């Protein structure tokens, strides 16, 4: 577990505070810092090593980083967020040094904040704070997923000929498809009632590389009719 180590001399003054604060783990892949979801962790990249390039920026592999480890007991939507004294970058991996599941440099253009939202299966994951040197606070929160049937029942209806605007930011990943590498990303489901045999065209315009697919049964992945 975690511990706090301090040293001091004399008893007449408390000036100077703690001379050292040590977390369990050095912040490397071999010795990651253990995190508890829902609890803020304060740290620093000052004195940290640089082992790999930061995924969503081009730093040439020269920036120091701290590696943190957390564990999930069930399929969960997580939100990992850092606030920092410098322009930090945050990314999540399933295997330390492996493929990156999500990476963010600036949340909403704010260089002192980064946030990654993901839906993850049970297991061990690694959160890395990277880019330059400074202090940071990292918090990972969990949100329980709803039953898919409940999500389907709450799906808003589409009206043919009427465009609908939406945003998948921060949403969970409930559905997967046969295209777009499974569409393993935040999603939004809509319902369309068809009264008679019809020709259907569904068109999406988005600020990101999105996918769209149609099912005849909301909870049944095998009922997919088309995917683009």
pLDDT in tens, 125-150: 999 999 888 999 999 999 889 899 99
Q: What are the distances in angstroms from CA 130 to CA 44, 196, 227?
A: 10, 55, 36
Residue 24, pLDDT above cutoff 70 = no
pLDDT at residue 170, rounded to an integer: 81
CA distance linking residue 35 with residue 68, whole number of Å: 6
pLDDT at residue 62, rounded to an integer: 78
pLDDT at residue 124, rounded to an integer: 96
Q: Please, which residues have CB within 8 angstroms of residue 172's CB and are 6 or more apart in sequence?
A: 77, 119, 143, 145, 146, 186, 187
CA distance linking residue 66 with residue 40, whole number of Å: 15
Residue 181, pLDDT above cutoff 90 = no
> Measuring CA to CA, which residue among 90, 94, 36 is closest to residue 66?
90
For 95, the 3-state DSSP assignment is coil
The top-scoring range by mean pLDDT among 1-5, 116-120, 170-174 is 116-120
Q: What are the distances in angstroms from CA 123 to CA 4, 11, 98, 160, 178?
A: 27, 47, 15, 42, 25
177 in the Ramachandran plot: left (φ > 0), alpha (ψ -120 to 50) or beta? beta
Residue whose tokens read 């949100």: 143
Residue 16, pLDDT above cutoff 60 = no
pLDDT at residue 185, rounded to an integer: 85
CA distance linking residue 194 with residue 92, whole number of Å: 41
Residue 79, pLDDT above cutoff 50 = yes
- Residues recorded for the chain: 228
Residue 27, pLDDT above cutoff 80 = yes
Tell whether pTM > 0.85: no
Residue 123, pLDDT above cutoff 90 = yes
pLDDT at residue 19, rounded to an integer: 29
Residue 166, pLDDT above cutoff 50 = yes
pLDDT at residue 55, rounded to an integer: 87
Q: Are 93 and 131 in contact (CB under 8 A)?
A: no
Cα dihedral sign for 23, 27, 32, 33? positive
């Amino acid at each position: 577990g975690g511990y706090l180590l301090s040293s001091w001399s004399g008893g007449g003054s408390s000036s100077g505070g703690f001379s050292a604060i040590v977390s369990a783990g050095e912040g490397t892949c071999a010795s990651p810092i253990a995190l508890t979801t829902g609890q803020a962790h304060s740290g620093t990249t000052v004195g940290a090593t640089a082992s790999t390039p930061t995924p969503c920026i081009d730093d040439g592999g020269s920036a120091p980083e701290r590696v943190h480890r957390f564990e999930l007991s069930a399929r969960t939507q997580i939100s990992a967020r850092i606030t920092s004294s410098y322009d930090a970058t945050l990314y999540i991996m399933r295997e330390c040094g492996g493929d990156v599941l999500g990476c963010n440099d600036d949340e909403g253009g704010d260089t002192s904040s980064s946030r990654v939202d993901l839906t993850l299966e049970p297991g061990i994951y690694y959160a890395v704070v990277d880019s330059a040197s400074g202090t940071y606070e990292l918090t990972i929160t969990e949100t329980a997923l709803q039953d898919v049937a409940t999500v389907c029942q709450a799906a808003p209806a589409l009206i043919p000929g009427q465009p609908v605007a939406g945003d998948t930011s921060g949403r969970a990943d409930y559905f997967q498809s046969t295209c777009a590498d499974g569409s393993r990303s935040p999603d939004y489901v809509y319902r369309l009632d068809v009264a008679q045999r019809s020709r259907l065209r569904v068109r999406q315009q988005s600020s990101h590389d999105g996918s769209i697919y149609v099912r005849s049964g909301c909870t049944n992945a095998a009922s997919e009719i088309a995917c683009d």
